[in-house]
Amino acid sequence: MKLKLKQYFLFFVIVISQNIIAQDKPHLYFNKDGKEIAKDDYCRRCEIQYFIPVEIENDSIIKHVIIPRQIMGVLNKKELMQVQQFIGNTVNRKIYKNHIIILNYFTTKNSNIKHYTNNKGYIKKCKKDETISQFFITEKDFKFTSRKTPIFEDITGNIARIFFQNSNINCSYVIIKPDGYYYTYLGEYPQDRIIDIAKSSWNASKNN
């Protein structure tokens, strides 16, 4: 009995100590370019809908970073082939080079994955369009199954590394066009707009 009490007491002390250490860590704030800014400026920018706040904690500090919700870019031919190969290996399916690829991506923090993966209208519309290959992907070590919808785990972490490095964001999606241009949206999103965005023209030089 005394041993158990000592164990509980030790556990309590460790938890309290960790909380105290976490509270003592300095908080640093950064803009989308990685430049340190004042807390007030950071909070003001967080209110802008085009940005999303991300908290990164390590042994010494707690970093608060704002990143754009929408990111546009382009993959060169070699990078595009690698990405298509990564996706093909993940979903165990052939990826057609002339298809627009849509990946709906989820992390363990997402509580609405059932909502997204059960959107019959969205899934049906994707399947009906012969120019689109759409897949639901979860982050590495996040296994989620559905009776009706195939959901694939990013086992290698390659998809996250390329498009979703801020993996603590609950859900995101990326659209990859056959010419290598891609559009990434981070955070909660209206799913029914994705196909219209995929079929529209982009300017990769613009990042909102």
Q: What is the pLDDT of residues 185-203, one digit of tens each?
A: 988 899 989 999 999 987 5
According to DSSP H, which parts of the chain are helical? Answer: 2-24, 39-46, 77-91, 113-117, 120-128, 158-163, 194-199
Q: Calculate the CA 133 to chain-centre distance.
A: 19
CA end-to-end span of the chain = 61
Q: Quote the DSSP letter at residue 193.
A: G
Q: What is the pTM of this model?
A: 0.77
d(CA 115, CA 125): 16
- Residues 162, 48 contacting (CB under 8 angstroms): no
161-171 pLDDT, tens per residue? 999 876 567 88
pLDDT at 67 over 90: no
d(CA 104, CA 26): 35
**Which residue ranges form the domains of the chain, and what is each CATH number?**
2-68 (no CATH), 70-199 (3.40.30.10)
* pLDDT of res. 168: 66
d(CA 153, CA 136): 9
| Sheet of strand 70-74: strand arrangement | 70-74, 181-186, 171-176, 100-106, 132-138, 151-153
pLDDT at 135 over 90: yes
d(CA 57, CA 79): 31
